[in-house]
């Protein structure tokens, strides 16, 4: 039996370090109709420590397999894994484009001290995230630059200022592809 899609599939990759507002943003995308995949939430439901990288990768692989099936059916999917490496984002983008999906990158960023205050305020992690964790992760994180952002059908950069409020977008427009920052994503 042949199935027909009424819309073009869309993959939204939500990128950023802990405390940047990825979950809040992705939940807003979900409210707007996207199907959201969050490894952290699955790990919570399965009582898996967030620092268990082997199990995190297995969950993300399972989520990505399902996300591809949903994209093939013409649906909108939001991936909320942090996607710290360019190669990871590139692999997601390329595969989604092979499926025929529009691909967006939503990059959320803030100064490290703002991220740390937000992490401490949420008290979500079973093993607390320390300042040293955040520093180490910041060294590993490959922030999207203008060349990478230009590869997406749409790229949105949301930057939080030192007071924890949404500042002007870090990149106003890159080759005309970027939307303005969004408010209310605390």
First to last CA, the chain: 45
Q: With the CA atoms of 58, 61, 63 and 68 taken in that order, what torsion angle do they form, in degrees rounded to the nearest 10?
A: -170
Cα(78)–Cα(13) distance, integer angstroms? 6
State residue 162's pLDDT score. 60
> Do residues 14 and 155 lie in contact, with contact meaning Cβ atoms separated by under 8 Å?
no
Q: Distance (Å, rounded) from C-alpha 112 to C-alpha 114?
A: 5
Average pLDDT, the chain: 84
186 in a structural domain? no
Q: What is the pLDDT along the chain (186 residues), one digit of tens a residue?
A: 444 455 789 999 999 999 999 999 999 999 999 999 999 888 888 888 777 889 989 999 999 999 999 999 999 999 999 899 999 999 999 999 999 999 999 999 999 999 999 888 876 655 688 999 999 999 999 999 999 999 999 999 998 776 656 654 433 332 333 333 333 332
Alpha helices in 46-111 (DSSP H): 53-72, 86-99
Considering only CA atoms, which of 143, 158, 53 is closest in space to residue 89? 143
**Structural domains of the chain, count:** 1
- Tell me if 3 is assigned to some domain: no
pLDDT for position 48: 82
1: in domain: no
pLDDT value of residue 163: 61
Q: What is the pLDDT of residue 173?
A: 30
Please report whether residue 184 resides in a domain. Answer: no
**Residue 151 within any structural domain of the chain:** yes
**Which residues are 172's β-sheet partners?**
none
Selection from 63, 99, 102 nearest residue 83 by Cα: 63
Domain that holds residue 25: 10-179
DSSP 66-82: HHHHHHHTT-EEEEEEE
Q: What is the pLDDT of residues 69-103, one digit of tens each?
A: 999 999 999 999 989 999 999 999 999 999 999 99
At 43, which CATH number? 3.40.50.300
Task: Please tell me the distance from the alpha carbon of residue 62 to that of residue 165, in angstroms, as a whole number.
Answer: 35
């Amino acid at each position: 039996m042949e199935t027909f899609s009424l819309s073009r599939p869309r993959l939204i990759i939500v990128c950023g370090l802990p405390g940047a507002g990825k979950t809040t943003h992705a939940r807003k995308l979900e409210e707007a109709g996207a199907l959201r995949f969050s490894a952290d939430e699955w790990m919570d439901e399965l009582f898996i420590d967030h620092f268990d990288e082997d199990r995190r990768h297995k969950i993300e692989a399972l989520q990505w397999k399902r996300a591809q099936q949903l994209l093939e059916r013409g649906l909108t999917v939001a991936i909320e894994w942090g996607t710290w490496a360019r190669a990871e984002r590139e692999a997601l983008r390329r595969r989604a484009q092979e499926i025929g999906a529009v691909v967006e990158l939503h990059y959320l960023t803030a100064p490290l001290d703002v991220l740390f205050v937000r992490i401490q305020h949420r008290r979500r992690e079973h093993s607390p995230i320390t300042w040293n964790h955040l520093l180490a992760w910041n060294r590993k994180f490959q922030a999207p630059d203008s060349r990478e952002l230009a590869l997406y059908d749409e790229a949105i950069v949301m930057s939080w200022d030192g007071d924890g409020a949404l500042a002007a977008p870090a990149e106003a427009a890159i080759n005309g592809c970027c939307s303005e920052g969004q408010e209310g994503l605390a």
